[in-house]
């Protein structure tokens, strides 16, 4: 494609058009990351003399928080991916009921995660709606909110992100899946074979990409774990915000170290998933 | 197909169940365990939410969301046009840069920039709008890039042949044809500002009280479930209403 024959947009004009968006993104993202990195290395203290040190990196228990954050993000994303795929299949099936399911699914999208967390609290707490529905006394209900296994936190992310994954995957499937599956059925493919060899390969790129987005989002999200999690150990965002808002100014470099770590993890996750998505595209 | 009727039912329950206690609690005056439904219905939750300042907080959230939408939508539209023009150098790299705020945790960006904003004496409100606009640019860019990619440029050429100026092409050809996409992009950007919690908490330092901050404060206390439910619902219903309006704009445009 060249600019020839296109009215108006030349190379210089295209650059001018894109700059108003690129400049604030580069300035904000660049300045924020640089500032966090410098702060974590002791080079921009709020009080005292700047001095290069790794104290902030040594002082925080990063290892535990990294493992916890990765586990929550992986667990929630796994559930969201499976449920999201089935939701997408049900929505694109073309039955009359799939309209209703599509509406319900799209209504979940504008619900903020914070509201989802409040709702999950009312649903899963020991006097919540679910134990009442199942007729289980509060004393016998497992600690899903604030408990050992972060169930309520994982459930909230899985719930919200499954609708997001379904939206993306249904978009990718809707235009093509019906005709391909019909052809496969005419050729004698069974239900499972059609799913395995037609639907799944068609859905895979969108499924992988949306799962990666929701993993990275969950990894860096604060409010759900802060509301529904237990006080200790803390996932990375909760640790960072607590350190940053503490009255102890010496904790700020530690908060910055946690922020840099979380950003780096997110970046690595994106690069890894981009690579595997590319390999997937090459295989198909 | 593969998803049976039973599976469909299970999926519907999965989507709806978390919102049921929210709706019930919002209208409950008294609902102690183990009763399945509230013992007394009423507007205690609403009264408590209003007393907590839900009204002014909702106005602040709406202003924040609108400011973000007003800034991020045209920036995304310009970028989307440039990215699909075929004239941009390294469009892949530019697109990756514009998507980068999606990868970075909002708390990390807010935390890093907060120190800088303090040093540069930028007012918290200005810093907040700037940060959230940057967070919204990936969404508006993706939507407008897709819309411009599907836009038939012959319309532009015809309009130019008929003597329209470049600005007239934008106003009389692009805007009407791309209206559904512009509305969608603006909605997503509005949502970024409307529903933000952690960036407002960190940059606003707790002084700028938006609706999500009220929801967060109420939800971390105990024994006020009706108030939590009303606050949470008032954070959800306006965007849902907006979504319905935008959906109808889209349907009208397709007709």
Q: What is the pLDDT of residues A37-94, one digit of tens each?
A: 999 999 988 777 888 888 889 887 899 999 999 999 999 999 999 999 999 999 887 6
Partner residue facing A25 (CB), from B22, B101, B195: B101
What is the enclosing helix (H) or strand (E) of B40? strand B40-41
pLDDT above 70: residue B254: no
- pLDDT bin (cut points 50, 70, 90) of residue A3 is very low
Interface test with A, best of B5, B9, B11, B211 (most A CBs within 10 A): B11
- ∠ CA A185-A189-A190, nearest 5°, is 100
Q: Which residues of A touch B131 (CB under 8 A)?
A: 28
Please give the Cα distance from A209 to A194 (Å, whole number).
22
Residue A201 sits at the chain B interface (C-beta within 8 Å): no
Q: State the Cα–Cα distance between residues A129 and B33, nearest whole angstrom.
A: 9
**Domains with residue ranges and CATH for chain A:** 63-231 (1.10.3720.10)
Q: What is the pLDDT of residue B33?
A: 80
Higher pLDDT, A205 or B206: A205
Contacts of B162 (CB under 8 A, 6+ apart): none
Is the pLDDT assigned to residue B6 strictly greater than 80?
yes
Task: Calculate mean pLDDT across residues A170-184.
Answer: 80
Residues in chain B within 8 Å Cβ distance of A17: 78-79, 81-82, 85
Instruction: Tell me: cis bond preceding B34? Omega within 30 of 0 counts.
Output: yes
Query: Which of chain A's residues have a Cβ under 8 Å away from the Cβ of B83?
Result: 18
pTM: 0.92
Residue boundaries of the structural domains of chain B:
6-29+41-254
A2 band by pLDDT with thresholds 50, 70 and 90? very low
Q: Establish if A105 touches chain B: CB-CB under 8 angstroms.
A: yes
The stretches of A93-150 forming alpha helices (DSSP H) are 96-108, 113-124, 129-134
Give bridge partners of residue B28 from the DSSP assignment: B41
Contact residues on chain A for B113, CB-CB shorter than 8 A: 28, 31-32, 35
Does B156 sit within 8 Å of A32, measured CB to CB? no
Question: For position B165, what pLDDT does the model report?
Answer: 87
Touching A: B residues 81-120, CB under 8 Å: 81-83, 85-89, 94, 97-98, 100-116
ipTM: 0.92
Res A96: pLDDT: 66
User: Residue B253: its pLDDT value, please?
Assistant: 65
Structure-block tokens of residue A248: 């102890």
Q: How confident is the model at residue B177 (pLDDT cuts 50, 70, 90)?
A: confident
| Banded model confidence at residue A171, pLDDT cuts 50, 70, 90 | confident
Contact yes or no for A8 and B166 at CB 8 A: yes
3-state secondary structure of B29: strand
Residue A23 pLDDT more than 80? yes
Q: How far is CA B200 from CA A12, A58, B176, B243, in A?
A: 37, 29, 35, 24
**What value does the mean pLDDT of chain B take?**
91
| Range A95-116 average pLDDT | 87
Omega cis (within 30) before B5: no
Q: Is the pLDDT of residue A268 over 90?
A: yes
pLDDT band at B73 (very low <50, low <70, confident <90, very high): very high
pLDDT bin (cut points 50, 70, 90) of residue A95 is low
As its CATH architecture, domain B6-29+41-254 has Orthogonal Bundle (1.10)
CA-based nearest distance A28→chain B, Å: 7
pLDDT per position as a tens digit, B105-155: 999 999 999 888 988 999 999 999 999 999 999 999 999 999 999 888 888
């Amino acid at each position: 494609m060249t600019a020839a024959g296109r009215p108006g947009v030349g190379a210089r004009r295209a650059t001018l058009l894109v700059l108003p968006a690129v400049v604030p993104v580069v300035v904000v993202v660049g300045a924020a990351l640089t500032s966090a990195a410098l702060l974590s290395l002791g080079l921009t203290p709020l009080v005292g003399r700047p001095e290069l040190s790794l104290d902030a990196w040594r002082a925080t228990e990063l290892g535990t928080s990294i493992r916890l954050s990765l586990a929550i993000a992986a667990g929630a994303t796994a559930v969201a991916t499976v449920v999201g795929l089935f939701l997408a299949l049900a929505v694109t099936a073309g039955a009359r009921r799939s309209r209703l399911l599509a509406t319900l699914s799209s209504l979940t999208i504008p619900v903020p995660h914070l509201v989802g967390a409040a709702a999950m609290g009312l649903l899963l707490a020991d006097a919540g709606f679910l134990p009442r529905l199942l007729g289980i006394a509060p004393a016998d209900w497992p600690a899903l909110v604030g408990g050992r296994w972060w169930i309520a936190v994982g459930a909230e992310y899985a719930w919200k992100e499954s609708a997001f994954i379904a939206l993306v995957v249904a978009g990718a499937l809707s235009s093509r899946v019906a005709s391909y599956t019909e052809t496969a059925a005419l050729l004698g493919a069974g239900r499972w074979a059609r799913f395995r060899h037609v639907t799944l390969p068609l859905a895979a790129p969108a499924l992988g990409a949306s799962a990666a987005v929701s993993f990275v989002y969950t990894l860096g999200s604060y409010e759900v774990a802060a509301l529904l999690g237990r006080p200790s150990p803390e996932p990375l965002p909760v640790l960072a915000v607590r350190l940053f808002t503490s009255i102890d100014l010496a904790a700020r470099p530690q908060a910055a170290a946690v922020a840099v770590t979380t950003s780096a993890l997110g970046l690595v996750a994106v690069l890894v998933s981009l690579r595997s998505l590319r390999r997937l595209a090459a295989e198909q | 197909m593969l998803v049976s009727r039973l599976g469909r039912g299970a999926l519907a329950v999965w989507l709806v169940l978390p919102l049921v206690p929210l709706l019930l609690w919002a209208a409950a005056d008294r609902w102690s365990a183990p009763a399945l439904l509230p013992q007394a219905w009423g507007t205690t939750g609403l009264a408590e939410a209003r007393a907590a300042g839900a009204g002014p907080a909702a106005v602040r959230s709406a202003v924040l969301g609108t400011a973000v939408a007003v800034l991020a939508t045209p920036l995304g539209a310009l970028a989307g046009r440039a990215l699909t023009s075929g004239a941009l150098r390294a469009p892949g790299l530019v697109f990756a840069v514009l998507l980068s705020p999606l990868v970075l945790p909002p708390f990390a960006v807010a935390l890093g920039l907060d120190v800088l904003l303090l040093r540069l004496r930028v007012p918290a409100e200005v810093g907040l709008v700037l940060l959230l606009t940057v967070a919204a640019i990936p969404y508006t860019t993706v939507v407008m890039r897709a819309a411009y990619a599907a836009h038939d440029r012959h319309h532009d050429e015809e309009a130019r042949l008929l003597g329209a100026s470049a600005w007239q092409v934008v106003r009389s050809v692009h805007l009407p044809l791309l209206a559904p996409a512009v509305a969608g992009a603006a909605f997503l950007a509005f949502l970024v500002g409307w529903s933000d919690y952690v960036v407002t908490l960190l940059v606003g330092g707790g002084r700028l009280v938006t609706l999500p901050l009220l929801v967060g404060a109420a939800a971390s206390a105990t024994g006020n479930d009706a108030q939590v439910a009303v606050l949470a619902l008032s954070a959800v219903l306006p965007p849902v209403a907006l979504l319905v309006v935008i959906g109808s704009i889209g349907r009208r445009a397709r007709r």
